[in-house]
Amino acid sequence: MRPTGRHIAMDCYNCTYEPLHDAEALRELLAALLKQHDLQLTAYHAEPVEDDGLAILALFAGGHLTLHTYPSIGFVVADLFTCYQAEPIEAAALALKKALHPGKTKVTNLKRGDFGSESDMKPKIKVQTTSMKRVKQTSEKVIRLLKRPK
């Protein structure tokens, strides 16, 4: 069986979950959340970072969950990865989102290990562009306006 994992990346803004600075409270939350979705927490490590935040790594069989918390601004970055498609990580990610009580969330889903069967996972960004002809015409208009006698 080829590993065809999934990776969910979440940015959670304006989180109202209070203990974003408490490593033990977050360990209990993550352990309960993973257990609820049949994912057993096997290892947990938390490191303090600037501004009273934490960098957290929670390992479970076949994957991991990482959190980076910024309590002063209520921001949490979460990555949930599993090596295999069968793991129920969407439900776990949704439960984590509900627990953090964010005002806004940005979620990115990635399929990992497709061995080239899918096109590149470049983000689809809509960019507004202007043709060079239009830029040149605008420049010419500005120059004519500046050259006009007063």
Domain parsing of the chain, residue ranges:
6-147
Q: Does domain 6-147 have CATH number 3.40.1190.20?
A: no
Q: What is the pLDDT of residue 77?
A: 96
Amino acid at position 123, single letter? P
- In 3D, which of 86, 95, 99 has the Cα closest to residue 20? 99
Q: What is the pLDDT of residue 46?
A: 96
Q: What is the pLDDT of residue 38?
A: 86
Query: Which residues, 6 or more positions from 41, have their beta carbon under 8 angstroms from its beta carbon?
Result: 30, 31, 34, 35, 58, 59, 60
Q: What is the pLDDT of residue 147?
A: 82
The answer to whether 97 and 15 are in contact (CB under 8 A) is: no
Say how far apart CA 19 and CA 21 lie, in whole Å: 5
The answer to whether 88 and 38 are in contact (CB under 8 A) is: yes
Measured CA to CA in angstroms, residue 37 lies from 31, 33, 55, 106 at distances of 10, 7, 23, 22
Pick left, alpha or beta for residue 57 (phi over 0 → left; psi -120 to 50 → alpha; otherwise beta).
beta
Three-state DSSP state, 59 = strand
Give the tens place of pLDDT for each residue, 108-150: 888 777 666 666 555 554 444 445 566 667 777 778 778 877 6
Q: What is the pLDDT of residue 146?
A: 80
- In 3D, which of 73, 79, 80 has the Cα closest to residue 50? 73
Q: What is the mean pLDDT of each run of 10 residues along the chain (150 residues)?
A: 78 91 94 90 93 92 93 94 78 92 90 68 49 67 78
